Structure 1
Amino acid sequence: METNGVSRRDFIRASGLAGTALCLGFYFPANAKKAQLVSANAAEATGFEFNAWMHIGTDGKITLTDHRAEMGQGSYQSVPQIIAEELEVDLKDIDVVFAKGDPKKYGSQITGGSSTIRGSYKRLLMLGATARQMLIMAAAAKWNAPVADCYAQAGQVIHRPTGNKLHYGELVADASKLTPPKDVPLKPMSDYKLIRKPLKKLDTPMKTNGEAIFGLDKRLPGMLFASVERNPRLRGKLVSFDSTAALKVPGVKQVFKVQMMVFNTTRDGVVVLADSTWAAMQGRKALKVTWDETGFEHVNTVDIYKSHQELLKTKEGLSVKKQGNPDAVLDKPGKKLDVIYETPYQSHAAMEPLNCIAHYQSDKIEIWGPIQAPDWVQGDISDKFKMPKEKVVVNMTFLGGGFGRKAFLDYPQEAVAISKQAGVPVQVVWTREDDIKQGPYRAGISYRGQGAIENGAITALKFKMAGQNIDHWSGPGRGKPNGSTTEGFLNPYFESIKNISFADVPYEMPLPNMWWRSVYASTNGFAYESFINEMALLAGKDQLSFRREYLKDERCQRLIDRMEEVSGWKARKKNEGYGVAITECFDTTVGQVVKVSRNAAGKIKIDKVWAVMDCGWYVNPDIIKAQVEGSVLMALGAATTHEITFKNGLVEQNNFYDYLMPRITDMPTVEVHIMENTADAGGVGEPALPPFAPALTDAIFDLTGKRIRKLPFNMNAV
């Protein structure tokens, strides 16, 4: 199934728009506080650029433009499920296409920060409701009946007094001429028929029968295939290369130098262009390349963490948030805790390796691929290649995982540069080794936690973090503290603890780092929640009861109630290993309880994980459960099986044989519970990752008495 975006001109051509279809979309005026919902006719009349988010044809079929990427998080299902609810149609009547990159039409298109639903669900509900109301108004006019006597159901408008029916397809011509009504009432949640139901995903059949088009599946006439030998050290330069043997490989066409920007640094590479990916890779193996790797530090992992510890002990850092005077409290005698936590560098290791197709032409650049941020790519390519934005077309395909890596701009830019030099459309495919050795990575970060207890209560908390700051790579963040230092730490703590401070100790290192699933919460959560567990022990209190004293808002209290209930927390026995953690990111709070024991061989095993998520308004509980399970597994790998390490400036890992992924037999039983409330939607794809590691290590301490403060650790060695 091709899922190319749909342009305004395509819609005009395909549907006529002159009274033959109902097209609704959003207009994003400059500096407007919210998008305006408009029809295609209104767009034509006023002349502004129209984005057709929804098109209903005379056959009643609905084409929905998904403005965000689908990388397994469920956007391809959740967006139409929202629309179908208010539009009163069956999901089988909706076709989904991916939008092209264009922030003027679609607003932000970045699939990251668990933002797709929480950032647009109200607009999507209104889109469906408005279309439904316009169809009802058109039917009422045909029957010369009051609008109040008509209602929509199953893709039809029904006249309540007579039972007469009109199919949506029979009404679109008249409906398209109406002005979209404002402030159409939305359904109460009690009337939902589709939302909050575990409906099967629309993209599952096409992903299992081969119809779905991922980046690696896309083909263009005359396209060649490229593999790139890149400098193994980010700042090294190409001295020379010998392509003699490479050009003798059957299918190899050209060999030449290429450069791409990685943040503000240029990375050199040698391109092998061929008539197949296999031939390009074989030609690359035959290359002889000389690199200049002098003039800069060749780092080692052990030195990174030594530097972290020294900084945390000797520097106060840049203040991020402070209330009260924790230093004065910590200077007094009493029960105190002063510990350091370490978290590792991590690769994204998405199952679909990086790839991108680019076709550079003198008057146009077009891109196809697994891209998390098509609007960012459009702007970056326009800037780097001096092409007007409207001449840069970015097409999204399905993504086989992204985790933030496929929101980066380097691989599309590299593909365009290669196509420009080759003069033909080119597909660049990264190997697994390329992905793991080149980065960018989640930065390894170390933390110092200091706290004081008096009469069983926290009197002071002080946290410092030392690690690379993503913003430093892009330039503007230099000299400023890491604004994400408190990410993952629940706000109610600030309301109940008088003396708290957070500081960022700047740490510079020439290693490319960037977002990774749940971003800084993935490392912050381990340090901060582990520290809270240690403070509970120091206070002589139960970990959940201890948190209840400080997380006093109603939603947190109800979440803790549920955690205790589902896990049997209060009925747990001695010599059973139970651990707990609660974190918040992207407007969602997740609490997890982990139970561990020893197997017959005496090794630690995870018996069960209970995860309670409060994400407010939500769409599909099955998607939530899948995201929580995936987050737990990814967190398990990051805590116990894999890390990126450096020796003499080179990444030591290569592929899954030494960047070890959890196996299916390692996957614990995960029981997911979703809190029901009417709060605004929070994120789903990332917030369940941060609490797992601190809950796991707390459970291991509960069972063994061994406190784990450094990740990753070997489960078999505990």
Structure 2
Amino acid sequence: MKTNKGSLSRRHFIRQTGLSGIALTVGASLSASGKTVVTLIGGPAPAQELVAWISIANTGRVTIMNHRSEMGQGTSQAIPQMIAEELEVHLDQVSVLFAPANPEKFGPQPQEGSFSVRGWYEQLLRIGASAREMLIRAAANQWNVPVSDCHAAGGEVIHRPTGRKLGYGALVEAASALSPPENVVLKNRKAYTCIGKPLPRQDIPAKTNGTALFGLDKKLPGMLYAVVERNPRFRGKVKHFDDSKAKAVPGVRQVLTVQRAVFAHLYEGVAVVADSLWAAMQGRKVLTVEWDDSGFDHLDSDRLAAQMRENLTKPASSETVETALRGAAKKIEAVYETPYQAHSCMEPLNCIAHVQENGIEIWGPIQEANWIQADLSERMGVPKAQVTVHMTFLGGGFGRKAFTDYPHEAALISRAVKAPVQVVWTREDDMRMGPFRTGAFYACKGGIDENGRIIAFQALTAAQWIGQDWTPEPYPDPKPLGDNTGTMEGLSSPYYKSIPHYSFGGVGTRAPIPVMWWRSVYASTNAFACESFIDELAHEAGKDPLEFRRNHLDDKRYRAFIDQLEAVSGWPTRDKKTGWGVALTECFGSIAGHIVVVARKPDGNVKIDRVIALIDCGWYVNPDIIRAQVEGSIVMGLGAATKHAITFKDGKAVEQNFNTYPMPRITDIPRIEVHIMENDEKAGGVGEPGLPPFAPALCNAIFDLTGKRIRTLPFNLDAV
């Protein structure tokens, strides 16, 4: 997903968190001198927020707010685990709640670009440490002893000389009246008792016993239900509809046209609103809609692929690359093709909206609360402070639930019917409407010298670029090579920097098909082409693929990484009866490497025997979360490589459910080993970097076993 690089300084962050209490609210602001001024805004309360993230009851129970969405990636564990470490509380003393959209209080809240830990760990550690120091000072003041004689542990402040103790619950009111410390000392990693440990996730029991609240579980008094018949051709308009049969269905209240904003375009549909979801769905079945599909292309996959292949020929090749290739001992070219993909979250889209005269409230599986708050404020003409966005658990997101279209549509329906409404997308709605991951085509060329080193490498791509739909204006002429840096995720590996002549660029393909972020964004397709081509160059040079990559690495971190990947996989001991493939990628601040091992089944077909994954995400919180995310990425990558794709016919998505867009089954999943690098690097992402290396590593392994190069995804593993 897109990366939000916004961050706050520690001091500004503390000032903006609104040091506060549930009823005794302590607001932080700046005086003319620049010092923090604390003002009391309320009265005593049984439980108080010490800082925006932390509330403490008089029983000592701590509530930590998770300001990020939780869609399985572990923020509801990792964020409390970071804060609890410096706050000096055990996680069994902690409850976790989702924070509502409030950028002034919680800072940016997007769940994108694997940014939750890597973008916020230092600030969140300081939040916990600042609260701890305020509690320690409150205890020292009560005992009339030096602060230096006190320390915190297990939710208590302890006076070292006497052993006296005060629980946080007894101290929070006094602590909330203190100014936050200007500087705090964070723990050394060796002193951690919480961070770095595989502590059990607190959301797992709720998700297994049915008490976790997902979007579809939320109910409001007087809530109605709506489903929407949307034009399957994306940009078509409603010409006419006949709702007579729909209104005859018991429980159907109203039928109305509705829009939703998809980037710069307004997509139209007809909503059926009813007392129950069943009634709304039955009403939709008998609704008759006539569409106006004029004014845009009704593309099919063959035409779209032909257009992308043609676009590969439009940009001029790099002159320096062409000059270098003329002097190469060997040179090769190859074209790679990757398909459109749906997000296919296990939980389809849904959203509750309640629009009233004094504001808007939203509940649902929201991946990007701030953006949705700001978008609704602008589109509905409501001050941002009067738009409240409540996050529930998400049954998957992968970028799709960061988008603003489905809350916008729900808000328009709620405003029209003057009641809270839950809009539910069926599986077919969710899969065929998009936005999708774009298909992408790549033309690669490269050359090696007489010593087997790469002297030139060029990759051109033709794909829909996400940014093209932010404006309805025609897309510009082909950009120069390297101009569109937004499509370069996964192409920053240091061994490219060792290549004397390297270039990457391409052409944006224009189409009415909506495209957006999909787990790891362009890295998922870029890596397939480029890491497959690196393997082809290694073969042409007669070099071992792993050693070939090592020989193009000057970076110490990368060399340590590839040494560790070799060691944990047993690469030097591989036998001739199996095929081994490797791929390395870097995106979202982390390095990931996969080695895939394939073998022949008794019937002669190829099977994936095992996958060995290594991730270097630098500083990390919970190793179990990392392993789960990498495993999930591999399974998702397996589906995209060998199982499913979205195709188009006459301007419509063909695949509409899992019968034609099959998911990997448990019998398809090989043994997966996930290893984590230990080093002192800054925190990187985890949720996305584990996906891009899989497809090229798999295809490289198949070549090692069979001699057959796979350059087009998806492919049928049983047909290799």
Q: Secondary structure at the match of 1:681?
A: coil
Alignment partners' CA distance in 2, 1:550 and 1:652: 43
Q: Secondary structure at the match of 1:384?
A: helix
- The structure 1 residue matched to 2:458, chosen from 441, 456, 462, is 462
Q: Secondary structure at the match of 2:637?
A: helix
Tell me, yes or no, if structure 1 residue 404 matches structure 2 residue 399.
yes
Tell me, yes or no, if structure 1 residue 385 matches structure 2 residue 368.
no
TM-score by length of 1: 0.93
Task: Pick which of 387-396 and 514-523 moved more.
Answer: 387-396
Q: Secondary structure at the match of 1:559?
A: helix
Alignment partners' CA distance in 2, 1:13 and 1:617: 32
Once the two structures are superposed, what CA deviation does each residue of 1:244-298 show, in whole Å capped at 9, x if it has no partner?
A: 1111112111111111121111211111111111111111001111112233211
Distance 1:363 1:176, change over 3 A: closer
- Residue 39 of structure 1 deviates from its aligned partner by 9.2
Alignment partners' CA distance in 1, 2:493 and 2:20: 49
TM-score by length of 2: 0.92
Alignment partners' CA distance in 2, 1:38 and 1:660: 57
Distance 1:621 1:228, change over 3 A: same
Alignment partners' CA distance in 2, 1:37 and 1:244: 67
- Residue 331 of structure 1 deviates from its aligned partner by 3.5
Percent of pairs identical after alignment?
A: 54
- Residue 50 of structure 1 deviates from its aligned partner by 11
Distance 1:42 1:701, change over 3 A: farther
One-letter amino acid of the structure 2 residue matched with residue 363 of structure 1:
N
**Equivalent residues, number:** 691
Gap regions ≥5 residues in structure 2: 1-15, 44-48
Distance 1:28 1:285, change over 3 A: farther
Aligned residue in 1 for 2:58: 58
Distance 1:44 1:337, change over 3 A: farther
Once the two structures are superposed, what CA deviation does each residue of 1:216-239 show, in whole Å capped at 9, x if it has no partner?
A: 011111110001000110121111
Q: Secondary structure at the match of 2:487?
A: coil
One-letter amino acid of the structure 1 residue matched with residue 272 of structure 2:
V
Tell me, yes or no, if structure 1 residue 499 matches structure 2 residue 507.
no
Aligned residue in 1 for 2:524: 522
**Aligned pairs for 1:637-656 within 5 A:** 637-656=639-658
- Answer yes or no: is the 8 Å Cα contact 1:37–1:127 preserved in 2: no
Distance 1:27 1:369, change over 3 A: farther
Once the two structures are superposed, what CA deviation does each residue of 1:325-361 show, in whole Å capped at 9, x if it has no partner?
A: 2121124464111110001000001111000001111
Aligned residue in 2 for 1:163: 163
Aligned residue in 1 for 2:12: none
Alignment partners' CA distance in 1, 2:429 and 2:558: 43
Once the two structures are superposed, what CA deviation does each residue of 1:298-320 show, in whole Å capped at 9, x if it has no partner?
A: 10111211222222134338xxx
Q: Secondary structure at the match of 1:710?
A: coil
- Residue 493 of structure 1 deviates from its aligned partner by 2.6
Distance 1:53 1:486, change over 3 A: same
One-letter amino acid of the structure 2 residue matched with residue 519 of structure 1:
V
Tell me, yes or no, if structure 1 residue 429 matches structure 2 residue 424.
yes
Distance 1:476 1:525, change over 3 A: farther
Alignment partners' CA distance in 2, 1:551 and 1:244: 69
- Answer yes or no: is the 8 Å Cα contact 2:584–2:592 preserved in 1: yes
One-letter amino acid of the structure 2 residue matched with residue 699 of structure 1:
A
**Aligned pairs for 1:310-349 within 5 A:** 310-316=310-316, 325-332=320-327, 334-349=329-344
Aligned residue in 1 for 2:134: 134
Alignment partners' CA distance in 2, 1:676 and 1:386: 50
Once the two structures are superposed, what CA deviation does each residue of 1:599-648 show, in whole Å capped at 9, x if it has no partner?
A: 11222111111110000000000000000000000000000000000011
What's the RMSD between the two structures over aligned residues?
A: 2.4
Alignment partners' CA distance in 2, 1:246 and 1:594: 53
**Aligned pairs for 1:69-148 within 5 A:** 69-148=69-148
One-letter amino acid of the structure 1 residue matched with residue 352 of structure 2:
I
Alignment partners' CA distance in 1, 2:689 and 2:132: 34
One-letter amino acid of the structure 1 residue matched with residue 449 of structure 2:
E
Distance 1:40 1:428, change over 3 A: farther
Alignment partners' CA distance in 2, 1:401 and 1:471: 24
One-letter amino acid of the structure 2 residue matched with residue 185 of structure 1:
V
- Answer yes or no: is the 8 Å Cα contact 2:631–2:672 preserved in 1: yes
Tell me, yes or no, if structure 1 residue 717 matches structure 2 residue 712.
no
Distance 1:469 1:15, change over 3 A: same
Once the two structures are superposed, what CA deviation does each residue of 1:413-457 show, in whole Å capped at 9, x if it has no partner?
A: 000010111111100000000011100000000011110111111
Once the two structures are superposed, what CA deviation does each residue of 1:135-157 show, in whole Å capped at 9, x if it has no partner?
A: 12222222222222221111111
- Residue 363 of structure 1 deviates from its aligned partner by 2.3
- Residue 27 of structure 1 deviates from its aligned partner by 7.8
- Answer yes or no: is the 8 Å Cα contact 1:311–1:466 preserved in 2: yes
Alignment partners' CA distance in 2, 1:37 and 1:278: 58
Alignment partners' CA distance in 2, 1:37 and 1:483: 41
One-letter amino acid of the structure 2 residue matched with residue 415 of structure 1:
A
Distance 1:26 1:619, change over 3 A: farther
Aligned residue in 1 for 2:24: 16
Aligned residue in 2 for 1:32: none
Alignment partners' CA distance in 1, 2:119 and 2:152: 27
Q: Secondary structure at the match of 1:70?
A: coil
**Aligned pairs for 1:429-448 within 5 A:** 429-448=424-443
- Answer yes or no: is the 8 Å Cα contact 1:485–1:502 preserved in 2: no
- Answer yes or no: is the 8 Å Cα contact 2:296–2:512 preserved in 1: no
Alignment partners' CA distance in 1, 2:263 and 2:35: 37
Task: Pick which of 331-340 and 285-294 moved more.
Answer: 331-340
Alignment partners' CA distance in 2, 1:332 and 1:542: 23
Distance 1:43 1:467, change over 3 A: farther
Gap regions ≥5 residues in structure 1: 1-7, 18-22, 30-35
Distance 1:43 1:717, change over 3 A: farther
- Residue 54 of structure 1 deviates from its aligned partner by 1.4
One-letter amino acid of the structure 1 residue matched with residue 468 of structure 2:
H
Alignment partners' CA distance in 2, 1:315 and 1:686: 30
Distance 1:486 1:44, change over 3 A: farther
One-letter amino acid of the structure 1 residue matched with residue 291 of structure 2:
W
Distance 1:242 1:276, change over 3 A: same
- Residue 393 of structure 1 deviates from its aligned partner by 1.2
One-letter amino acid of the structure 2 residue matched with residue 373 of structure 1:
E
Once the two structures are superposed, what CA deviation does each residue of 1:650-700 show, in whole Å capped at 9, x if it has no partner?
A: 111010010110001111111011001111100010000000000000000
- Answer yes or no: is the 8 Å Cα contact 2:238–2:292 preserved in 1: yes
Distance 1:567 1:153, change over 3 A: same
Q: Secondary structure at the match of 2:228?
A: strand
Aligned residue in 1 for 2:251: 251
Alignment partners' CA distance in 2, 1:686 and 1:12: 35
Aligned residue in 2 for 1:357: 352
Aligned residue in 2 for 1:452: 447
Q: Secondary structure at the match of 2:524?
A: helix
Q: Secondary structure at the match of 2:435?
A: coil
- The structure 2 residue matched to 1:474, chosen from 457, 470, 473, is 470
Task: Pick which of 518-527 and 165-174 moved more.
Answer: 165-174
Once the two structures are superposed, what CA deviation does each residue of 1:61-101 show, in whole Å capped at 9, x if it has no partner?
A: 22222111111110000011011111111112222221221
One-letter amino acid of the structure 1 residue matched with residue 601 of structure 2:
N
- Residue 173 of structure 1 deviates from its aligned partner by 2.4
Distance 1:633 1:195, change over 3 A: same
Tell me, yes or no, if structure 1 residue 490 matches structure 2 residue 528.
no
Q: Secondary structure at the match of 1:77?
A: helix
- The structure 2 residue matched to 1:587, chosen from 586, 589, 593, is 589
Alignment partners' CA distance in 2, 1:276 and 1:41: 48
Alignment partners' CA distance in 1, 2:336 and 2:345: 27
- The structure 2 residue matched to 1:679, chosen from 678, 681, 688, is 681
